[in-house]
Structure 1
Amino acid sequence: MAGVGLSVGAVARRLGVPPSTLRTWGRRYGIGPSRHSAGGHRRYDDADVARLELMNRLILDGVPPEEAARSALATETGTLPPAIPSLAGSAKGRGGHRLTVPDATPATRALARAALAMDTPTMRDLIGGALRRDGAERAWQELLAPVLIGIGDRHAATGAIIEVEHVLSGCIQDALAAEAAAQAAETPPLTARPVLLACAPEEQHSLPLYALGAALAGERISVRVLGARVPARALGESMRRLGPAAVFVWSQTSWTGDPAPLAELPGSRPPARLIIGGPGWEDGRLPASAHRVGSLPAALAEVRAALGRA
């Protein structure tokens, strides 16, 4: 490494992480640049970069950042691993092989690498490109859900990368909501009665709602996404106000899947089709009128049937 060392931007490109992440590591864990340029700017020397690369490798292997920084700082300079030649741009080669994605493809590997590096611009580009190219249903089935499953499995096994799941989920939700809004603005809905999408009370995993909402908007179906943690009373009031053709309720976890509030939802003329999705529901106690679905295509089929568009 020549002269006065590398800037934060150059080191960020080598590691495949945002510059803001390096600054946070420096402030929070004391693992930052140790040199200065002639103009007083802080610069990273070889040992600084090697420590950061070691820390980054440990994080990608599931070690919490604080512990990874402590290990990197405690490692003697002479025993630090050799510097990686270059990792320009996104996090190429940095963790894609460490995340098991079901039926991995080049697209899922690219999104997994960007997610593990918390590379928000690349994640947004990949997700937005897939939605525009393939539509919401295919993008969810073939790209977004597999990567989310891989990250969820890794977290369940190690307790790590919850921050990765949060950042990726935020990017996906923003992209799906934007896609639904763009579809509705470009081609107004053909249906008079909307479809309501809501999470069960206390359920916070709302991404499936946004995926279904974007897919329905692409089919010119009017939709209202009520989001996470929707009380039964609020859902009932929405049904009375909007007279929906169908109501989809999602439960991800067993402690949110109490079916009792579903039986108390108001009736309507013509009746709204009740569709429920997610692994949290107790099958034996579901209302007789409920249509249970296990996938996005199945949910779309039920909505089409409710609208007479099967």
Structure 2
Amino acid sequence: MANDGLSAGAAARRLGVAVTTLRTWHQRYGLGPSRHEPGHHRRYTVEDMVRLQVMQRLTAQGVAPAEAAAWARRTPESIPDISRPEGVVYPSPSTHSAPDDSASHLASFAGAVAPADSAEPVLRAAAAAARESILSLVESGALIPDAAPGDGRAGGGQTIALGPRADPAARGLARAAMRLDTPSMRYILESAVTHRGVISAWNNVMMPVLIGIGERYEATERFVEVEHLLSRSVTEALSAVPRPPRDLTPRILLAAADEEQHTLPLEALAAALAENGVPSRLLGARVPSRALLDAVDRTGPAVVVLWSQLPGTGDVTQLERLLSRPHPPLVVAAAGPGWPIADLPPTATPLSGLAEAVQVASAANA
């Protein structure tokens, strides 16, 4: 970054947003570049970038743009321009827990000074501190807004209906998904998993948006690209959960029923088990019954969880074959809405949710 600041294009690339987004934030909310020299385009300074980071991360967390901009404009004026020869001051993470009069800033500023020729590390430090400050406030509940008018409404427009009581992070994820904003989706999902845990992140953030985009497709036959990118982002977030040590032998086998293509719930279960130190094997989508039986014979699992999303894949003979093995698994569980509960074999275990699946699988694995 040159000492005269960033151009609009360079600032947009740093943030991972479109230049038109920066122009909108400038025109509507006054979050534009502050450095200007006659005959030249305006440039974004370090302080401008911190404000834009605040705006970006709050909107990603579900805060309405106008409210996010108001918070961004409250960022202190104490970061000098990076071209000043005596150096610049960069922020450290805030410890405020509520946006009251004594804690109105999103970042507290320490007196650490860096030379003007090290603007690039300063920018990274400022951006990181802004993100940490926002996250601490969101997690404390200080920045969770009331439902915005119109949130969750069904009907037209490029929105995902979530309902007025939707989690703010789910609203932010839905907005990012409709924008095909992969960086924001990744940030929201990783934050939810890290700070809430897999089960809460799945139930309150991931699943409502996945259901919402599915309903949008059913109503419009559009937005397949949104569903694909969202699903991929969820997979990446769940895959990032640290797995148990390699010396622990997995005794839980997870698989989708024959011809069943939906696997995200199984990925969530694998991640939730891993979070609790329990290893598992995930075979993935469309596992033929013969292949599943072969896997069971070779690995001898204590638990088999078979997922069926759609009624067409919930053939109970798959469960009956597992249970009729000479040495059947201790638990054969039917998970998902595709299974006909009334027709399940008496010794099959129906699972109604992720938390129950984790509890049952972990107990049988012990």
In structure 2, how many angstroms separate the alpha carbons of the residues matched to 1:160 and 1:249?
A: 30
Aligned partner of 2:281 among 214, 224, 233: 224
Q: For 1:180-191, what aligned pairs fall within 5 Å after superposition?
A: 182-184=242-244, 188=245
- Cα contact 2:243–2:279 (8 A) shared by 1: no
Q: For 1:69-80, what aligned pairs fall within 5 Å after superposition?
A: none
In structure 1, how many angstroms separate the alpha carbons of the residues matched to 2:216 and 2:287?
A: 29
In structure 1, how many angstroms separate the alpha carbons of the residues matched to 2:161 and 2:270?
A: 28
Q: Does 1:115 align with 2:177?
A: yes
Q: Deviations over 1:43-80 (max 9, x none)?
A: xxxxxxxxxxxxxxxxxxxxxxxxxxxxxxxxxxxxxx
213 and 221 in structure 1: CA distance in 2 versus 1, 3 angstrom threshold: same
Aligned partner of 1:178 among 229, 237, 240: 240
- Cα contact 2:304–2:329 (8 A) shared by 1: no
- Cα contact 2:176–2:184 (8 A) shared by 1: yes
Q: Does 1:10 align with 2:71?
A: no
Q: What's the offset of the Cα at 1:234? A: 1.2
In structure 1, how many angstroms separate the alpha carbons of the residues matched to 2:328 and 2:313?
A: 29
Partner residue in 1 for 2:255: 198
Partner residue in 2 for 1:300: 358
- Cα contact 1:189–1:221 (8 A) shared by 2: no
Q: Secondary structure at the match of 2:174?
A: helix
- Cα contact 1:199–1:250 (8 A) shared by 2: yes
In structure 1, how many angstroms separate the alpha carbons of the residues matched to 2:351 and 2:238?
A: 21
Task: Provide runs of 4+ in structure 1 moved above 6 Å.
Answer: none
**208-217 or 238-247: bigger deviation:** 238-247
In structure 2, how many angstroms separate the alpha carbons of the residues matched to 1:189 and 1:130?
A: 26
In structure 2, how many angstroms separate the alpha carbons of the residues matched to 1:127 and 1:150?
A: 16
Q: What's the offset of the Cα at 1:283? A: 2.2
In structure 2, how many angstroms separate the alpha carbons of the residues matched to 1:258 and 1:13?
A: 52
Partner residue in 2 for 1:210: 267
In structure 1, how many angstroms separate the alpha carbons of the residues matched to 2:22 and 2:168?
A: 21
Larger RCO, structure (CA 8 Å, separation 6 or more): 1
Q: What's the offset of the Cα at 1:175? A: 1.5
Partner residue in 2 for 1:273: 331
In structure 2, how many angstroms separate the alpha carbons of the residues matched to 1:220 and 1:190?
A: 12
In structure 2, how many angstroms separate the alpha carbons of the residues matched to 1:168 and 1:224?
A: 24
Q: Flag the structure with larger Rg.
A: 2
Aligned partner of 1:101 among 152, 157, 162: 162
**Where do 5+ consecutive residues of structure 1 fail to align?**
1-5, 17-87
TM-score by length of 1: 0.66
Q: Secondary structure at the match of 1:264?
A: helix
Q: What's the offset of the Cα at 1:269? A: 4.3
**Where do 5+ consecutive residues of structure 2 fail to align?**
1-7, 13-17, 26-54, 67-149, 153-158
- Cα contact 2:243–2:275 (8 A) shared by 1: yes
